[in-house]
Amino acid sequence: MGEIPISPEESAKIASDYLGSPEKFRDPFSSREGTIYHFLWGGKPSYILKEIKPDSQPFKKLGKKAEEVAAGMQAVYDLAKKYFGDELVPMSFIPGKNDAGEESVLVIHPEIVGPTLEELAQTEGEATQFERFLTLDSFQRTWEEMKRDRDWKKLPRHVRHYFSACDIFGTGVVKTENGELRIIDF
């Protein structure tokens, strides 16, 4: 499945659709930060929408207002994109209020089809476990390099602090059918 970059206009429309009628999104499941939904957008490939709830770690560490949380996440994403390039999927961070009227942030990105590195390591044995280790180690080194960037030092202290211990886990990296590794969560 190909990737479709998400324009600010598309992101705003998706967020508006979600906030207006969340029941039309399929397969919700809960994560640490919130609820994740899969959906089709205008007949195009599926997207993932993750609602970051106000009682989650991003809100506890990045600010009480959705705008602050979204801005902090966007700033780190923009810097990470500089280091990871196309391995990091396009993402939008949209502040708003959920159907309960609570502050929330919607994270939207294209759905990348394929098993995660974690799933591969569990099903395909030692060689894949070693590949998983090397890949995650390489990604982690890149993350550490990014933290030495002068633009990292320009980020607000609380944003740097929250993302400084950020790990790219095996569940946040998908291996596509053509063998490419894509980071879908950090």
Q: Is residue 3 part of a domain?
A: no
Is 85 found in the same domain as 136?
no
* Residue pLDDT, tens place only, 48-71: 778 888 888 888 888 889 999 999
Name the band, by pLDDT with cuts 50, 70 and 90, for residue 3.
very low
Which residues are CB-contacts of 77 (< 8 A; sequence separation ≥ 6)?
Answer: 88, 91, 93
19 belongs to a structural domain:
yes
104 lies in the same domain as 122: no
Answer yes or no: do 152 and 81 share one domain.
no
Count the domains in the chain: 2
Residue 159 lies in a domain: yes
- Residue 133 forms part of a structural domain: yes
Choose among 109, 87, 86, 80: nearest CA to 181.
87
Answer yes or no: do 73 and 15 share one domain. Answer: yes
Question: What is the rounded average pLDDT of the residues 98-121?
Answer: 82
| Structure confidence at residue 184 (pLDDT) | 86
Residue 88: inside a domain: yes
**Residues 104 and 127 reside in one and the same domain:** no
Confidence of residue 20 (pLDDT cuts 50, 70, 90): low
Do 55 and 84 belong together in one domain?
Answer: yes
Lowest mean pLDDT among 21-25, 26-30, 59-63, 82-86: 26-30
Whether residues 15 and 85 share a domain: the answer is yes
Query: Is the pLDDT at 106 greater than 70, yes or no?
Result: yes
Most confident of 27-41, 106-120, 162-176: 106-120
**Cα–Cα distance measured from residue 54 to residue 95, given in angstroms and rounded to the nearest whole number:** 11
Identify whether residues 79 and 49 lie together within a single domain: yes
Range of the domain at 171: 117-183
Same structural domain, 99 and 127: no
Name residues whose C-beta falls within 8 Å of residue 113's C-beta, 6 or more positions apart in sequence: 1, 174, 176, 177
What one-character-per-residue DSSP string does 16-32 give?
HHHHH-GGGSEEEEE-S
pLDDT class of 150 with cuts at 50, 70, 90: very high
- Residue of higher predicted confidence among 129 and 80: 80
pLDDT band per the 50, 70, 90 thresholds, residue 151: very high
Q: What's the pLDDT score for residue 148?
A: 92
Same domain, 95 and 143: no
pLDDT in tens, 28-40: 555 555 555 555 5
